[in-house]
Amino acid sequence: MIKEFLNPDRVTLRMGRVLAKVSSRPNVWTIISVIPAIAGFYLVWRHSIIWSVVCFLLSGFLDSIDGAVARCQDKSTYLGAFIDGTVDRFVDFLLIFSFLFLAMPDILFSFSWWVVIGAYFALMPTFTVAYANHRKAVPDPTEKVIWRILHRSEMYPLFLIALLAAAFSLTTAAYLFIFTAILSIITTFQTIYLVVKKSKNYPQN
């Protein structure tokens, strides 16, 4: 939702110009972002939740650098977008599945089921849009044509807030996680609906 309505290019371009001096290769920043995410996953397993949140925050920050560096140098490539998307999904997976290491209370059914549901439906909208692009059902390379309630720019912070809440109240964290999972379910069906609806505006073979 934020991505569709806000244009953060000015901020990211300034950041990209500064950080390109450290490394001018965007893919390097993308790959580096995996390291703190793995550390965050490990720290949740060790029940060091606050530090795990710090690591996942750092991973999210590093992930934003690759695009900024690429845009400021006009080095955006299809391969870079592919690597970025693949790494993002891996980091998302680590964040969501880290909740399995916490003694979260069961709500309606086993919380581990919520983790599986959250992972599937949080990742599904991105794959739906990518497949719509690939099959040319709805050309949407900037991911702004198919409007979504939850984009990664909202989903990732919401799961991160739920993880932070787990340091103080597992029950609160559980409800925040489930809230985000339900929004992800709605977003998934919304995305599929919009692909079908908007595909009528494009010639189909």
In whole angstroms, give the CA distance from residue 129 to residue 140.
7
> What pLDDT, on the 0 to 100 scale, is given for residue 79?
77
* pLDDT exceeds cutoff 60 at 133: yes
- Domains of the chain: total: 1
In whole angstroms, give the CA distance from residue 111 to residue 102.
10
> What one-character-per-residue DSSP string does the chain give?
-HHHH--THHHHHHHHHHHTTT---HHHHHHHTHHHHHHHHHHHHTT-HHHHHHHHHHHHHHHHHHHHHHHHTT---HHHHHHHHHHHHHHHHHHHHGGGGS-PPPBSB-HHHHHHHHHHHHHHHHHHHHHHHHTTSS--TTS-SS--S--HHHHHHHHHHHHHHTTT-HHHHHHHHHHHHHHHHHHHHHHHHHHHHHGGGS---
Tell me the CATH number at 130: 1.20.120.1760
Lowest mean per-residue pLDDT among 64-78, 90-104, 136-150, 177-191: 64-78
In the block, residue with structure tokens 């993880």: 163
In whole angstroms, give the CA distance from residue 145 to residue 60.
24
Going by C-alpha positions, the residue among 125, 113, 165 that lies closest to residue 149 is 125
pTM, 2 dp:
0.83
- For 97-106, how does the pLDDT look when each residue is reduced to its tens digit (9 = 90+)? 999 999 999 9
Range of the structural domain that residue 73 is part of: 2-201
- For 64-85, how does the pLDDT look when each residue is reduced to its tens digit (9 = 90+)? 776 666 555 566 677 777 888 8
* pLDDT exceeds cutoff 50 at 3: no
- For 29-59, how does the pLDDT look when each residue is reduced to its tens digit (9 = 90+)? 788 889 999 999 999 999 999 999 999 999 9
180 token code pair: 């985000």
User: Between 79 and 177, where is the model more confident?
Assistant: 177
> What pLDDT, on the 0 to 100 scale, is given for residue 17?
52
* pLDDT exceeds cutoff 90 at 187: yes
